[in-house]
Amino acid sequence: MDYLYAPWRREYVTRKKSGCVFCDIAKDRSDDEKNFVLYRDKYCFVVMNKYPYTAGHIMVIPLQHIDNIENLNEECWLHISLMVKKCVTMLKKEFNADGVNLGMNIGKGAGAGIAEHVHYHIMPRWIGDTNFITTIADTRVFSSDFEKIYKRLKKDINRYVRDN
């Protein structure tokens, strides 16, 4: 059996849990910059993933604390789906992403790290963005600084998510 290690995620998996991290972010707008929130509206918020798999990894999260999509209000579900589409457009145009991975792990059994609050992952990808260094050197290489990416996306997002 082969093993693939991801040491950059240690802080995430060992953090002390007290309540729902997404609900905490949803309730307190005063820490939006510290929490890397890019956008908010009446249904959801868009935030950069603090433990990214790729540079520019963002998440769309409903304001409602819910662990499944089956019971999510249909209007909210459709809005979130449209928000994901707009974020994909933004990442392709502003970051010249060659592709995008979308993911939603619903439940612990599906690999959800925060199973109590559903959320979409949106990860920009580029041809050649993976290489051997992660596997052999326990190192993740990002082509851009996390805070610079946040500032750029924060500046750009309103052009993409506003209603047309």
Domain parsing of the chain, residue ranges: 7-12+19-161
Is the distance from CB of 90 to CB of 157 less than 8 angstroms? yes
What are the start-end ranges of the H helices in 7-145? 10-14, 21-27, 74-95, 133-137
Q: What is the DSSP letter of 138?
A: S
- Report pLDDT digits (tens) over 17-36: 568 999 999 998 999 999 99
- Contact at 8 Å (CB) between 115 and 104? no
pTM summary value: 0.82
- Could you give the 3-state DSSP secondary structure of residue 38? strand
Asked if 117 is an active-site residue, the reply is no
Task: Fold for 7-12+19-161, please state it.
Answer: HIT family, subunit A (3.30.428)
Give residues with Cβ within 8 angstroms of 154, minimum separation 6.
Answer: 38
Question: Of 57, 65, 79, 119, which one is the catalytic site residue?
Answer: 119
What residue ranges of the chain have pLDDT lower than 50? 137, 164
Which contacts of 23-28 are long-range, i.e. CB under 8 A and separated by 24 or more positions?
Answer: 23/65, 23/117, 25/61, 26/61, 26/63
